[in-house]
Amino acid sequence: MANPTRFFLAVLAAAGISRTAWAELTTPGAVQLNVPISARQAGMGDIALGGGDVMGGWSNPALLTTMASRGTVALGGISMLGGASTQFGLGAGWKLNPSLAIGLLGTGSSMSIKYSDPSGNENGSISQSVNSAGLAAAYRWQAIGAGIILKGISETLESQGNSAFGADVGLMAEKYGFTAAVSARNLGPNLRPSNGSVAGETLPQETRAGIFWRYEPLGLGAGAEAVMPAGLAARIGLGAEWWPVPMFAVRAGFRSNDGGSPNISAGLSAVFKGFGLDYSFTSSELGGTNRFVLSYGFGEVMGATAAAPGEARAEEAVKEPEPASVKPVALKPGAAKLNFAVSDLRAENVSAGDAAVIADLLRSELVKTGAFNVIEKQNMDKLLAEHAFQQTGCTSEECAIKLGKLLNVQRMAVGSFGKLLDSYMVNIRVVNVETGEVSFAESVEGQTVSVLRVGVKDLAKKMAAQVR
């Protein structure tokens, strides 16, 4: 793990070996291993990339690096084929640091199918159960992530018991709001019968490859994923999700089927104070599939990415972390608050509208500190319009002094909001309007709006504690 290059090469080598072996596969067994256990994923046509939850790591272990919270635990259940088949899933993930995550993932299923003779008389039923549990690790190096799961598999078909060890490997990359990923699943030898009398069934190996795009300011995301099972026809999934508010999401999806009607899916999520409840329904010719997942995210936000909006957006809605090095402001009795204004931020490689949103966020967080008399944006614009003053591009100390005097404030914040590669950055300087000196200078950055919002909150608290 310490050397990401060696780790990536090992993952690629394992994927290459599996593709060579696929040419000899015949009848895969234990196909329930490939049923998604993530309700978020199932609600979007089985697209693993868009789910953003720890359960998605079962389809691609590299997705463990997208967890927003330091730790996440989840437990879910599935009812399929009109109740003839049930499945449960569990997931737990822990971020050792923003780049390295480990996890425990498992699934268990049982199926009982009745069969009839040509006359329609029931002759009996066939039962099967499949259980699997695995340990996962994922590493992220800048915009690239890789992961692996080592798992044990057991199957019981009627009275025959089978078992095997297998592995999943995955890669992902993020850039400009896009996430692309590929995974190879269930790599390993045949399921080995307990009596050793026959060769056993092959594992249901599959390759998944997809792309997902997210527009974080509106909470929108959409993507597509191709799933290529060994010995079976490939299928395509299309899906989208929308987080209209930080604590609620809706989803819809479509998945093709070989020679049959496509599956249509829908889902929703509700999250509050770290708890999440996800539900999805998928239609099929054999009956609908219902999925429920209950999860809990705990610990601080750590390197959230665009692939994990639910946890990150919920965290920011209910939690305001206090910077360890900043003490709350304690004004002396009778001390007057400074008049404070925040200029429009200069936009660098982002839109002017985005820069205006960040400036408004900073104003709001400064008001919450109670340390300053902060001028509202509309009042500031009205005063400047009366003096025909254009504040766009006002980032120098000289301009800040002139602007501050027009607004009758003692302190003026100027700066910029921009994007460099895959990170957003806010640079702020506070100018003493009376003396012209810079009394505060700080920068914050983040790969998503969710992380950046937490940074701006911390920035406002530092300003309240240090600016005098």
C-alpha span between 377 and 402 (Å, rounded): 17
Residues in the chain: 468
Largest CA distance in the chain: 97
Predicted TM-score (pTM) of the model is 0.60
pLDDT tens per residue across span 405-427: 888 899 999 989 988 877 888 99
Q: What is the pLDDT of residue 28?
A: 52
Name the region of 99 (left: φ>0; alpha: ψ -120 to 50; beta: rest). alpha
Report whether 312 contacts 301 (CB < 8 A): yes
Sign of the dihedral through C-alpha 280, 213, 423, 394: negative
Structure tokens, 28: 């895969």
Q: Say which residues have a Cβ less than 8 Å from residue 112's Cβ, sequence separation at least 6.
A: 84, 85, 125, 126, 127
Between 382 and 300, name the one with better pLDDT.
382
CB of 146 closer than 8 Å to CB of 170: yes
Report the pLDDT value the prediction gives residue 68, as an integer from 0 to 100: 72
Distance in angstroms (rounded) separating the CA atoms of residues 179 and 309? 13
pLDDT value of residue 5: 45
* pLDDT category of residue 162 using cuts at 50, 70 and 90: confident
Question: What is the pLDDT at residue 211?
Answer: 93
Q: What are the Cα distances from residue 171, in Å, to 8, 32, 104, 144, 266?
A: 8, 23, 18, 8, 27
**Is-contact 174 307, C-beta < 8 A?**
yes
Helix and strand counts by DSSP (H, E) for the chain: 7, 21
**Amino acid residing at 275:** F
Q: Which residues contact 384 (CB under 8 A, 6 or more apart)?
A: 390, 391, 403, 406, 407
- 273 vs 251: CA distance, rounded Å: 21
Tell me which residue of 391, 388, 397 sits closest to 435, measured CA to CA: 397
Residue 325: pLDDT band (50, 70, 90) is: very low
With 90 as the cut, is the pLDDT of residue 230 above it?
no
What is the C-alpha to C-alpha distance for residues 241 and 218, in angstroms, rounded to an integer? 11
Q: Which fold has domain 4-317?
A: Porin (2.40.160)
Architecture of domain 320-466: 3-Layer(aba) Sandwich (3.40)
Say if residue 323's pLDDT is above 60: no
Q: Hey, how many other C-beta atoms are within 10 angstroms of the C-beta on 155?
A: 24
Q: Which residues contact 52 (CB under 8 A, 6 or more apart)?
A: 40, 66, 68, 307, 308, 309, 310, 311
Confidence (pLDDT) at 24? 34
Q: Is the pLDDT of residue 78 over 90?
A: no
Sign of CA pseudo-dihedral 48, 54, 60, 62:
positive
User: What's the CA gap between 408 and 255, in Å, rounded?
Assistant: 61
Q: Which residues pair with 151 in a beta bridge?
A: 134, 166
Give Cα 150 distance to the centre of its chain: 23
CA nearest to 58, candidates 29, 87, 22: 87
Residues 363-373: tens digit of each pLDDT: 999 998 888 99
Per-residue confidence band for 312, with pLDDT thresholds at 50, 70 and 90: very low
CA dihedral 272, 273, 276, 277 (to 10 degrees): -40
Q: What integer pLDDT is reported at residue 25 of this predicted model?
A: 32
Computed on alpha carbons and rounded to an integer, the radius of gyration of the chain in Å comes to 27
Q: Where is pLDDT greater, at 383 or 31? A: 383
Mean of the per-residue pLDDT values of the chain: 78
Rounded to an integer, the average pLDDT of 372-401 is 78
Distance, in Å, from the CA atom of 37 to the CA atom of 57, rounded to the nearest integer, reads 10
Summarised one tens digit per residue, pLDDT across range 337-359 is 889 999 888 888 888 888 888 99
* The pLDDT of residue 184: 93
Q: What angle do CA 210, 303, 179 make, to 5 degrees?
A: 15
Give the pLDDT score at 334. Answer: 45
For residues 68 and 154, which has the higher predicted lDDT (pLDDT)?
154
Domain positions in the chain: 4-317, 320-466
**pLDDT-derived band at 114, boundaries 50, 70, 90:** low
How far is Cα 407 from Cα 397, in angstroms, rounded to an integer?
15
User: Could you tell me which residues come within 8 angstroms of residue 243 by beta carbon, excluding any fewer than 6 positions away?
Assistant: 219, 220, 249, 309, 310, 313
Cα 130 to Cα 229: distance, rounded to the nearest angstrom: 18
The pLDDT of residue 226 is 92
Q: Which residues of 344-354 are buried (b: 16+ CB within 10 A; e: fewer)?
A: bbbbeebeeeb
The residue with tokens 């009982």 is 112
Query: Which residues is 144 bridged to in the sheet?
Result: 141, 173
173 near 143, Cβ under 8 Å? yes
Q: Bridge-partner residues for 298, per DSSP?
A: 71
Quick: pLDDT tens for 208-223.
999 999 887 788 899 9
The rounded distance, in Å, linking the Cα atoms of 153 and 132 is 4
Residue 4 has pLDDT above 60, yes or no: no
**Cα–Cα dist 146/12, whole Å:** 10
